[in-house]
């Protein structure tokens, strides 16, 4: 994963909010909510003073295209190297982003610019928001189950700061202004070989009648993020869904070895831990992402997986879950087992997954090679 060079701290966020939205009656509550996020700093693609201006939807989308083309190739190169595959080994590219728009998708540019094969399949996902990281992993799992010798590249490019709307001052908008950060992440899901999370069973779930709780209003000024105050409470109905998924797989969701959970905010993580009867520390990788980068949308789960690799405490057979949450309210979930490839033990580190018949897949996120 990679984050931009411009940094804004929690203290600076509060200072800018007080200056830009001075006198607004909802500001004191918004400041308190921002303080409670636990986000120490975030990274953004432009200096903060430039971010706070609005040059128009067209110019912002132009910046999105320029920055995504500048930042994605390096992250992709690292993911490919960590997975031990070349660009010509990739059969499908899944590109996820909810913070800018391009047609054709960035996938077409990547194929031409980086030398991927012309018959590489493309799946752009642009409307699943923060859940798209989990969805990309699940669609890669599905693809490699259907085509077991294939390799899938996942790319997440979330430049959330380009969606800042100076005129939006409701509580949901002000909170999101202090929560979201920018990041680019990539992963490779291999059809055979590798060390990492063996993807075994995936599922999707939509909480009924919540489709307007997280949404974009698309106006002449761009994407206006809308967040319902009921969203933080969605983990109570979501916990039984995760419990049932694990149960169908023969596991107890409260007694897994690792949890990669979307860091939508502190209450999301706290509530899910509580309703799953899991120690809060089991979500430490998601907490670290939230603290150091903020909510980086679809890139959260990929960064949390990177942290799991770098911690280097998993043993073969360790069980876990990856779960992303987003608009809908939608959940994308996958159960997996830590698997070690003997070749990787002496050669390289990747991120691995395998399907139920023991054929291996392998996601690789910017994990240092060994």
Model pLDDT for residues 312-329, shown as the tens digit of each residue: 999 999 999 999 999 999
- Range 277-282 average pLDDT: 97
Q: Are residues 161 and 12 in the same domain?
A: yes
Q: Are residues 18 and 83 in the same domain?
A: yes
In a domain, 361, yes or no: no
In a domain, 354, yes or no: no
Q: Are residues 217 and 249 in the same domain?
A: yes
Q: Do residues 93 and 125 touch, judged by C-beta distance below 8 A?
A: no
Q: Are residues 44 and 168 in the same domain?
A: yes
In a domain, 349, yes or no: no
Q: What is the predicted pLDDT for the residue at 20?
A: 87
The residue from 72, 98, 130, 157 that is catalytic is: 130
d(CA 40, CA 76): 27
In a domain, 343, yes or no: no
What's this model's pTM, rounded to 2 decimal places?
0.91
Q: Are residues 136 and 19 in the same domain?
A: yes
Q: Are residues 225 and 147 in the same domain?
A: no
Q: Are residues 106 and 220 in the same domain?
A: no
Q: What is the predicted pLDDT for the residue at 23?
A: 86
Q: Does residue 72 have an active-site annotation?
A: no
In the Cβ-directed half-sphere of 180, how many Cα atoms lie within 13 Å?
A: 25
- Cα torsion 235, 241, 246, 250: sign: positive
Q: Are residues 18 and 63 in the same domain?
A: yes
Structural domain including 60 reads 6-190
Q: What is the predicted pLDDT for the residue at 290?
A: 97
Q: Are residues 277 and 147 in the same domain?
A: no
Q: Are residues 10 and 157 in the same domain?
A: yes
Q: Do residues 156 and 124 touch, judged by C-beta distance below 8 A?
A: no
Task: Summarize pLDDT for 205-258 with one digit per residue, the tens.
Answer: 999 999 999 999 999 999 999 988 899 899 999 999 999 999 999 999 999 999
Q: What's the whole-number average pLDDT of the chain?
A: 91
| Ramachandran angles phi, psi of 105, nearest 5° | -60, 165
Percent of the chain with pLDDT over 70: 92
Q: Do residues 181 and 46 touch, judged by C-beta distance below 8 A?
A: no
Task: Summarize pLDDT for 184-210 with one digit per residue, the tens.
Answer: 999 999 988 888 999 999 999 999 999
In a domain, 352, yes or no: no
Asked if residue 89 has pLDDT above 90, the reply is: yes
Asked if residue 72 has pLDDT above 50, the reply is: yes
- Range 50-76 average pLDDT: 96
Among 190, 218, 251, the domain-final residue is 190
Among 190, 214, 230, the domain-final residue is 190
Q: Are residues 80 and 222 in the same domain?
A: no
Q: Which residues are bridge partners to 331 per DSSP? A: 205, 325
d(CA 251, CA 235): 20
In a domain, 345, yes or no: no
- Range 286-308 average pLDDT: 97
Among 190, 216, 236, the domain-final residue is 190
Q: What is the largest CA-CA distance in the chain?
A: 62
- CATH number, domain with residue 319: 3.40.47.10
In a domain, 353, yes or no: no
What's the residue count for the chain? 370
Least confident of 33-42, 118-127, 261-270, 338-347: 338-347
Give kind and range of the element (H or E) at residue 193.
none
In a domain, 355, yes or no: no
Q: What is the predicted pLDDT for the residue at 169?
A: 87
| Ramachandran angles phi, psi of 103, nearest 5° | -145, 115
**pLDDT band at residue 344, thresholds of 50, 70 and 90?**
low
Task: Give the total number of structural domains in the chain.
Answer: 2
Q: Are residues 310 and 262 in the same domain?
A: yes
| Residue 203 burial class via C-beta count within 10 angstroms: exposed 0-12, middle 13-18, buried 19 and up | middle
Q: Do residues 172 and 26 touch, judged by C-beta distance below 8 A?
A: no
């Amino acid at each position: 994963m990679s984050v931009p060079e411009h940094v804004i701290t929690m203290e600076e966020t509060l200072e800018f909010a007080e200056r830009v939205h001075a006198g607004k009656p909802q500001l004191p509550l918004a400041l308190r909510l921002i303080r409670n996020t636990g986000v120490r700093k975030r990274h953004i693609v432009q200096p903060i003073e430039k971010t706070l201006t609005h040059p128009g939807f067209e110019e912002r989308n132009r910046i999105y295209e320029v920055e995504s083309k500048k930042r994605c190739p390096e992250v992709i190169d690292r993911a490919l190297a960590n997975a031990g595959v070349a660009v010509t080994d990739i059969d499908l590219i899944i590109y996820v982003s909810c913070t800018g728009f391009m047609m054709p998708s960035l996938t077409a540019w990547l194929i031409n610019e980086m030398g991927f094969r012309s018959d590489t399949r493309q799946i752009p996902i642009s409307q699943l928001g923060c859940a798209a990281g989990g969805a990309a992993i699940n669609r890669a799992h599905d693809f490699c189950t259907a085509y077991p010798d294939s390799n899938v590249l996942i790319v997440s490019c979330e430049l959330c700061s380009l969606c800042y709307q100076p005129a939006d001052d409701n509580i949901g908008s002000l909170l999101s202004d202090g929560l979201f950060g920018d990041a680019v992440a990539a992963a490779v899901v291999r059809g055979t070989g590798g060390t990492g999370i063996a993807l075994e069973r995936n599922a999707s779930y939509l909480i009924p009648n919540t489709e307007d709780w997280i949404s974009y209003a698309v106006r002449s000024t761009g994407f206006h993020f809308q967040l319902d105050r009921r969203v933080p409470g969605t983990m109570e109905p979501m916990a039984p869904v995760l419990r049932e998924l694990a149960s169908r797989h023969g596991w107890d969701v409260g007694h897994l070895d690792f949890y990669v959970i979307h860091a939508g905010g502190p209450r999301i993580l706290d509530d899910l831990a509580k309703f799953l009867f899991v120690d809060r520390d089991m979500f430490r990788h998601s907490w670290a992402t939230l603290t150091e980068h903020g909510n980086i949308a679809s890139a959260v789960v990929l960064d949390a997986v990177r942290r799991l690799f770098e911690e280097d405490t998993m043993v073969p057979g360790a069980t876990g879950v990856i779960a992303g949450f987003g608009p809908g309210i939608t959940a994308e979930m996958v159960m997996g087992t830590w698997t070690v490839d003997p070749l990787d033990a002496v050669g390289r580190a990747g991120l691995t997954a395998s399907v139920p018949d023991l054929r291996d897949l392998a996601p690789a996120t910017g994990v240092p090679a060994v």
